[in-house]
Chains A and B, each alone.
Chain A
Amino acid sequence: DAGITQSPRHKVTETGTPVTLRCHQTENHRYMYWYRQDPGHGLRLIHYSYGVKDTDKGEVSDGYSVSRSKTEDFLLTLESATSSQTSVYFCAIGSGTDYEQYFGPGTRLTVT
């Protein structure tokens, strides 16, 4: 998985609780992305980062925030989880030069 880890890999949480997912890379890539995968929708971009402390919204950013204080770490936070945020979350990285993205193994989040 191109030196990308995600933690936790599985999480069950209750509605209304905050949740933070972590993505860690060892490739020193500039770009990092958070996607969610839902049946029938493919992957949809939540937020992305183009450098330390530089982030921008994606297609489905409502209810999510991100932070990137170091090149290697990109955090996704659900401030108050809802059942509609039950999904599989993927982190991806990219160098920005070949336009490829490399994906992590995913985090399965269930909000009850």
Chain B
Amino acid sequence: AQSVTQLDSQVPVFEEAPVELRCNYSSSVSVYLFWYVQYPNQGLQLLLKYLSGSTLVKGINGFEAEFNKSQTSFHLRKPSVHISDTAEYFCAVSDRGNKLVFGAGTILRVKS
């Protein structure tokens, strides 16, 4: 069975600083990868996805992620964060089926 590990449960960062949220997955087969964001008391919203092609994927709100097959990683980055980026971020993987396996989440806290 697939699994997803988000290496940090919480990441505190100052406003306008860069941030990286780390995600590793277990599958050795071809996968699809996703990052979702959840703002307080809301549902999840897709940030970006990797299905194929370029390993650098750009998403909404200035976020990007890089697929690294050899390291089975899909880390999320943003060069300069805002207070409004404070939220919980989830990495998810699909083995090309229509089911997702989610990581435990990383809470990003942006401080002024």
Contact = CB atoms under 8 A, between A and B. Distances in A.
Given A31-B98, A99-B49, A99-B94, A42 B43 contact: no
A48 B45 contact: no
Contacts of A35: 102
A110 to B, nearest CB: 15
A90 interface: yes
A22 B18 CA distance: 41
Interface string B78-110: 000000000000100010101111111100000
A43 B44 contact: yes
Contacts of B6: 42
Interface stretch (A13-21, A64-72, A73-81, A101-109): A101-109
Main secondary structure of the interface of B (DSSP, over half): strand
A96 interface: yes
B32 interface: yes
Bin chain B's interface residue count: 20 to 34
Contacts of A90: 43-44
Contacts of A105: 42-43
B51 interface: yes
B90 A42 contact: yes
Nearest to A50: B98
B99 A106 contact: no
Given A44-B102, A100-B34, A101-B100, 17 more contacts: A31-B98, A33-B99, A35-B102, A40-B9, A42-B4, A42-B90, A45-B101, A50-B98, A58-B99, A92-B44, A98-B51, A99-B32, A99-B96, A99-B98, A100-B46, A103-B45, A105-B42
Interface of B: 4, 6, 9, 32, 34, 36, 42-46, 49, 51, 90, 94, 96, 98-105
11 contacts: A4-B43, A42-B90, A42-B104, A45-B99, A58-B99, A90-B43, A94-B98, A96-B98, A99-B32, A103-B43, A105-B42
